[in-house]
Structure 1
Amino acid sequence: MGVWAHGNFDNDTALDWLGDITGQLLDEIAEAMDSPELLEADELDADLVPCRIELLCAMAEKGMPPQWPDVQLLAQWKQIFLQAWDASIDELEPSEDYKRERRATLVATFDRMLALAHLAEEEGDTEE
């Protein structure tokens, strides 16, 4: 086991674990994207996919980026998610304010992920 400093993630074991966790989050997002009906506004993954993305972004911003999929795939995920959400949200009869603000939050979440993935790609930290 390699240890190079005193930080919680400054050893091989911790980084291997982190890779497992981020891989699991990415796998769960990918699985949801394969079934857009799971992304409808009243479905569990409509709430959990943005949470998973938020966690991945927070880790990336702390200097522990996941192995992001290709940026083009991430852009497709954004499109798939927003299409499913847009097609289903009105059935729940939300207020216009909620609908507008929630959509803006969703777009910002996906855009944050895309920006971090672009940065990682430039630095050579993405899957080929």
Structure 2
Amino acid sequence: MTTETISIPETGTATDPGADALEATRHALVAQLAGLSAQEQIAHLVDLVAAQAETARTEQNPDETFDDELDGDSPFFEVGFNSLSAVELRNRLVEATGLTLSPMLLFDYPTPTYVAEFLQEQLAAEGGA
């Protein structure tokens, strides 16, 4: 786990008025996380991932009742995810973070905590931390 925290990047030029929605989303998330410690950032991102995962899981399986509650250590593919819901979650996380994420995200990072740590590293790298 990285110990870097996310900070708002310093820019020498005005922002492009035509900045796309993903960039605006990423900047907003970086601003939310900027004042938090590394552990608080991870906790915030775990909550984000778990909420998006719960939505993706129930949307892909609307007739199924899940006994397992999603938490930071829940392996996605042991709590009702399949390849379709994995891609749906990845798409939701792209929209929620503004990051470009691999369709293989959940295969590479199989729990909400692992995904959150990866997102924190990506946001810290892009945020100039």
The TM-score with structure 1 as length reference comes to 0.31
Bigger radius of gyration, 1 or 2?
A: 1
Q: Give the number of the structure whose residues are more often helix, by fraction.
A: 1
Name which structure has the greater RCO, CA cutoff 8 Å, separation 6+: 2
